Structure 1
Amino acid sequence: MADVTDTAELVVENDVMVPMRDGVRLRTDIFRPAGPGPFPVLLQRYPYTPRDGISAMFAKIIARQGYAVIVQSCRGRFGSEGEFYPLVPDVEDGYDAVEWAGTQPWSTGRVGMWGMSYSGFSQWAAAIARPPHLTALAPFTCGWDWSDSTWYYAPGVLHLGLTLSWSGLMTTEEADRRGIPSPLPGFAAGGRLMDEGGLGDPEKQAELLRLEMAETRGMLDRRPLRDAAELRDLAPWFRDHCDHDDGNDPYWRRISAAAHADSIDLPVFHLAGWYDFFAKGNLDVYTTLAHHGATERTRETQRLVVGPWNHNCAQIRPDADQNAGMFVDFGPDAPVMRFFAHHLKGELPDYQREEPPVRLYVMGDNVWREEREWPLARTRWTPYYLRTDGVRSLSTRAPGDEEPDRYVYDPSDPVPGSLRTGATYGDPVDLDAVAGRPDVLVYSTPPLEAEIEVTGPVTLELWASSSVENTDFTAKLIDVFPDGAAVPVCQGVVRTGHGVTEPRTPGTPYRYEISLWSTSTVFKAGHRVRLDISSSEFPTYDLNPNTGERITHATTDRTVPAQQRVYHDELRPSRLVLPVIPR
């Protein structure tokens, strides 16, 4: 039976069991203004603990603005019936939840969805099914395709630390639900901290993240990794994610809103962070719908906000302005609530004309700026060529006759990386130590005489060869401060043997286009622009053993060293293409 609390401001109904089409009931909390209504509805669906009070806190803030707010636990999670599996049931469950919300006596029938991370992905799952009452979306820090820049950082390259740690995190509730001990006690201890509001307490959050990192790193040497015993029964999707490395596989297409873009006709408020590990997917969604949306209404009603945050809503740069704001802002004047006031309540009649389509935070300058489009129309795509003339450098002058740079990539001694990109979980990497490794090529400008703004997608056009058929090349853009501090900006990777129709010929140069994702930052005068090139970043990316196998499926830890060459001559001009904005 639902627990109902009636106050002068709000009616709160906890543990309402909402039926889905197959009879499974999902635990749901409802927060709505006191009084008969009706009210527009904002629905959040997520698989994490409701016991920390964070979602309830935001729900009450929103409900006091005249909305009925629904917070629902996904199938098989925290009191909801059924079995949990990422996103697959969220297509139909999302449809059913939206239609239930749209037909309640206190509902106007206009239903929006809101939330970050998985709660954003679940919005896109519901949008695939096109529930009639769904009116607008506000997905924060997420993409719409789990096979692209999500579980797979790049085609064929598993975002290993992220997917492994997230799967481990999800085992805790499943073990509790089954009444069995957790095979990952560090994650279980972290789950208890989350129940105690650990995500809102810096000291508890630090301990939570320490526990998660230690437990995840303990699984990295399992072979084959897809069969890690700790995940086999409680997180079976990890094996499935490892098995399906092709983004065009029907396994991914069924839950990919990107595959249904032509049928999505909704206003969407997109919120991203430059250092979020889902940033590329976030920006790809906006670009697709704003430029190629199904209708004129779709194209005109997209809004994008990109801030300096990582996935934790934190800033990581030494020059960060802590007054830049938080993306979890649901006050009446917050951009997302203005969006909902217009699309769900019919308020702010001049919203479409007055509200900028794009709002970006420019790091370095530490300012918010309004724009009309993304990428910016005034961009000057500026090549910085890789050069070696005594020292390795980045230069706007094209190369002439130069010898390639060489290094040996030994997978048994990979370049260290954080669990997730964006320095998101207090897992720093010493970039100075990385630069001193013999398997890392460092190219840099001299100290800049004038500042350079880089806002937009960053690409490396790399000419390279390898002594093996299938290897990796990684790239990382870095801002080097005058005091020598090296601050990561954005990064990318390519797996040379993935998706090719003919095997790569060892020793033959090929041209690779590596997306380093996007940024908006100003390299100040006196700073240096640095590019690191290597062939691994572990466990950020899954390790390429150079054998033609993947560590997710290999039964042994056999690896093969590879002789790598990077070319930068007149015929094979490797270059970093920066989106420079005139100042």
Structure 2
Amino acid sequence: MIRTLAAVVSLVALAAGPPASAQKSAAQYDERPAKLAPRDEGYGYTRRVADIPMRDGTKLHTVIAIPKGATGVGMLMTRTPYDAEELASTTPGIYASLPGSDDTDQDPITASGYIRVFQDVRGMHKSEGIYMMNPAPAGSPFNPTKFDDSTDTYDTIDWLVKHVPESNGRVGIIGISYDGFLPLMALINPHPALKVSVPMNPMVDGWRGDDWFHNGAFREEMTEYILSQEGTRAADTKWRTNYADDYDYFLKAGSAGAVGKAQGLEQLGFWRKITEHPAYDRFWQEAAMDKVLAKQPLKVPVMLVASLWDQEDIYGAPAVWRALKPKDANNDMVYMSMGPWHHGQEAGEASTLGAIKWDQDTAKYWRRNILAPFLAHYLKSDSPPMDVATVSAFQSGANRWQKLPTWPTTLGGAGGGGVPLYLKPGGALGFDAAAGPVQTRDYIADPATPVGYRVRPDKPTYATGSTWRQWLVDDQRGVSGRPDVIEFETDVLTQPVTIAGTPEVHLTASTSGTDSDWVVKLIDVYPQGLTGDKTMAGYELGVAMDIFRGRYREDLSVAKPIAANVPLKYGFALPMTNHVFRPGHRIMVQVQSSWFPLYDRNPQTFVPNIFFAKPADYVAATQKVTVAGPDESYITLPVVK
């Protein structure tokens, strides 16, 4: 068949695709707009977005929610690495129950009509610039830049008071966890318009007792967070394993360094810093906010908020209290609230924590009766008076809120010191020392079968069904009976024992290895039998529990081998508590040498850096705890008499 020239041209054109005009018009059929402009109708506020320039020209993405018709109202800001747009639109509680939402009548912050400001920190989500995890203040050898979260907060507030005419020029800052670290940074050279700061469960000292280490033991379960947070600007990197049980995954991976290599963490600057600084050296000390703020003048009223069962940042708020309260000469600048919560639970519903019932929604009470009047006093133009105690403390056991004039600023109880509770032969525990010669309780700690911190299966931290938020109140009977966990228990109490402060461990122990971890738990044992809540019969509630890595016994900043088979003294503080051991209950102490995989395993052979311990370094060791004689082990309890 002979084709005409016109037919050939037509076929060539078809092969080449539609003409350019047709290609351009295809975009007209896209049903999505290039950029959606959200409407505010029905939400009771006007939403503005600003990319606010910092002193170096970097622009930080900021969402400003202004109640409709507002005039002369205070501004309440939350700076975050967790996506300002998300917090401003979907997160409940203190963050975004904005006027017009279903939760407005439940949220005293919203009811007060504040202008809410949400900002992505430098380098995260829609903000420009570089990102560093909880960086030290500018000018530190570990932050040689000329900016930090304090300068960025100052510059943001300066812009807000000039560009939000609906405000009264008063600004507060509030946030939880990382968002709680940022209100602390705001206290460094604060802007004059900053009138109040509320750090809630703040990240304060990543080595002593918050996210990354506790007394030198690395919190291995936090590796997933590190990957997600630093992997991309959008914080969307997924943690992937072939295991449903973290216990199996971390045990078979080997060292924490091996886990990091398997997940590609060596690409992340913060991971490299962690593995390069396993001891409490200048890297950690210069970033510790309690130490930083201890050197600053006290200019802004602060309410520190602590959770008594904070699974992530249990150390921070009490440490800042100890640093700041001595500066508060008139007792009107530094306040503290402590509730029976997991990390951040004060922003939601809190009538229970795990199996424990508090007989009330403790978080709603706190938000309405403590937080709301505190903020109003500093942010409202008429500065309404507030009836807020210096310390608002929930007393577990008695299950009641207390208004206290003060709280200890030293470890232990009021004025330091406390009452010794002795570990005794035969598993006894009591306030009188054991008689007779030196005796020990022995056990074998084997890194091949470490003691778990949760009943298995230990689901990944952020997996569906994970009990990560409640593990601190899990029933400690889950490890009772293991040969590598030793227990000491009082007789049934006939009188209440009330403690308020920081218990301190005084452990005398030896190990056949050259390094060792020591885990000590102070536990409230519920009555057996048929009285009270039968579902709680015999329950073992951890009141204060923590770990200490033995290589730092002499100096937290320098790792040293432990002398094998020599009884040595170890001293460390347990987390702050405010608890009543009621009549009919018992007090228990458990001692063990692993808490896995919350903390990485100690190989029990001294190596320069445990992150990179080899399989052959992990050896079983015989542990001996002294329970009688002149160096008998004990816990100092901050007993209230």
**TM-score in terms of structure 1 length:** 0.83
Q: What amino acid does structure 2 have at the position aligned with 1:321?
A: W
Determine if contact 2:417/2:636 at 8 Å carries over to the other structure: no
Distance in 1 (CA, whole Å) between partners of 2:245 and 2:53 is 34
User: Cα RMSD over matched residues?
Assistant: 3.4
Q: What amino acid does structure 1 have at the position aligned with 2:273?
A: D
SS at match of 2:502: strand
Alignment partner of 1:506 out of 564, 577, 581:
564
**1:233-272 equivalence runs, <5 A:** 235-250=268-283, 252-254=285-287, 256-265=289-298, 266-272=300-306
**1:187-206 equivalence runs, <5 A:** none
Match of 1:415? 451
Instruction: State the Cα distance separating 1:544 from its structure 2 match.
Output: 1.0
Determine if contact 2:255/2:612 at 8 Å carries over to the other structure: no
Instruction: State the Cα distance separating 1:296 from its structure 2 match.
Output: 2.6
1:481 has 2:526 as partner: yes
Match of 1:495? 549
Match of 1:58? 97
Match of 2:124? 77
Alignment partner of 1:87 out of 134, 137, 143:
134
Determine if contact 1:384/1:397 at 8 Å carries over to the other structure: yes
Match of 2:469? 425
Distance in 2 (CA, whole Å) between partners of 1:214 and 1:40 is 48
Alignment partner of 2:55 out of 21, 26, 43:
21
Instruction: State the Cα distance separating 1:174 from its structure 2 match.
Output: 4.0
Alignment partner of 2:182 out of 102, 111, 122:
122
Determine if contact 1:146/1:256 at 8 Å carries over to the other structure: no
Instruction: State the Cα distance separating 1:324 from its structure 2 match.
Output: 3.4
Match of 1:200? none
Match of 1:579? 638
Match of 2:82? 48
Alignment partner of 1:184 out of 232, 239, 244:
239
Q: What amino acid does structure 2 have at the position aligned with 1:397?
A: D
Distance in 1 (CA, whole Å) between partners of 2:226 and 2:235 is 15
Instruction: State the Cα distance separating 1:26 from its structure 2 match.
Output: 2.0
Task: Summarize the Cα distance change of 1:115–1:328 in structure 2 as closer, same or farther, 3 Å threshold.
Answer: farther
Instruction: State the Cα distance separating 1:183 from its structure 2 match.
Output: 5.0
Match of 2:170? 110
Task: Summarize the Cα distance change of 1:36–1:327 in structure 2 as closer, same or farther, 3 Å threshold.
Answer: closer
Distance in 2 (CA, whole Å) between partners of 1:338 and 1:283 is 22
**1:32-431 equivalence runs, <5 A:** 32-35=66-69, 37-49=71-83, 50-51=85-86, 53-54=90-91, 57-60=96-99, 62=109, 65-88=112-135, 89-106=148-165, 107-161=167-221, 163-170=222-229, 174=233, 182=237, 184=239, 221=254, 224-225=257-258, 227-232=260-265, 235-250=268-283, 252-254=285-287, 256-265=289-298, 266-277=300-311, 278-290=313-325, 292-293=326-327, 296=329, 299-313=331-345, 314=350, 315-316=352-353, 318-326=355-363, 333-345=368-380, 347-348=382-383, 350-351=385-386, 354-375=387-408, 377=414, 381-388=418-425, 391-400=426-435, 401-418=437-454, 424-425=468-469, 431=476
Deviates further, 478-487 or 93-102: 93-102
Instruction: State the Cα distance separating 1:90 from its structure 2 match.
Output: 2.6
Distance in 1 (CA, whole Å) between partners of 2:493 and 2:287 is 48
Determine if contact 1:127/1:257 at 8 Å carries over to the other structure: no
Task: Summarize the Cα distance change of 1:240–1:438 in structure 2 as closer, same or farther, 3 Å threshold.
Answer: same
Distance in 2 (CA, whole Å) between partners of 1:327 and 1:467 is 51
Match of 1:453? 498
Instruction: State the Cα distance separating 1:83 from its structure 2 match.
Output: 3.7
Distance in 2 (CA, whole Å) between partners of 1:555 and 1:565 is 26
SS at match of 2:638: strand
Task: Summarize the Cα distance change of 1:125–1:225 in structure 2 as closer, same or farther, 3 Å threshold.
Answer: farther
Distance in 2 (CA, whole Å) between partners of 1:65 and 1:545 is 54
SS at match of 1:139: strand
1:409-436 deviation line (CA, Å, top 9, x unaligned): 212211111488x964355866324221
SS at match of 1:93: helix
Match of 2:583? 525
SS at match of 2:182: helix
Instruction: State the Cα distance separating 1:159 from its structure 2 match.
Output: 2.5
Distance in 2 (CA, whole Å) between partners of 1:572 and 1:251 is 33
Structure 2 residues without counterparts, runs of 5 or longer: 1-34, 136-147, 455-459, 528-536
Distance in 2 (CA, whole Å) between partners of 1:319 and 1:175 is 36
Determine if contact 1:174/1:234 at 8 Å carries over to the other structure: no
Match of 1:439? 484
Distance in 1 (CA, whole Å) between partners of 2:296 and 2:475 is 46
- The higher radius of gyration belongs to 2
Distance in 2 (CA, whole Å) between partners of 1:74 and 1:186 is 30
1:210-254 deviation line (CA, Å, top 9, x unaligned): 989699859954662474343526743123223223334145514
Instruction: State the Cα distance separating 1:524 from its structure 2 match.
Output: 1.9
Q: What amino acid does structure 2 have at the position aligned with 1:569?
A: A
Instruction: Give the share of equivalent positions with the same residue, in percent.
Output: 26
Instruction: State the Cα distance separating 1:23 from its structure 2 match.
Output: 2.7
SS at match of 2:551: coil
Task: Summarize the Cα distance change of 1:72–1:219 in structure 2 as closer, same or farther, 3 Å threshold.
Answer: farther
**TM-score in terms of structure 2 length:** 0.76
What is the number of equivalent residue pairs in this alignment? 545
Determine if contact 1:461/1:575 at 8 Å carries over to the other structure: yes
Determine if contact 2:228/2:235 at 8 Å carries over to the other structure: no
Determine if contact 1:408/1:562 at 8 Å carries over to the other structure: yes
Deviates further, 532-541 or 318-327: 318-327
Q: What amino acid does structure 2 have at the position aligned with 1:75?
A: R
Match of 2:24? none
Deviates further, 250-259 or 436-445: 250-259
SS at match of 1:435: coil
Instruction: State the Cα distance separating 1:24 from its structure 2 match.
Output: 2.5
1:113-165 deviation line (CA, Å, top 9, x unaligned): 0111111011122323533432210011124333331134433222332x223
1:316-374 deviation line (CA, Å, top 9, x unaligned): 364412513226965xx4412211211223545543xx421111111121111111111
Structure 1 residues without counterparts, runs of 5 or longer: 188-209
Distance in 1 (CA, whole Å) between partners of 2:365 and 2:125 is 23
Structure number having the greater strand percentage: 1
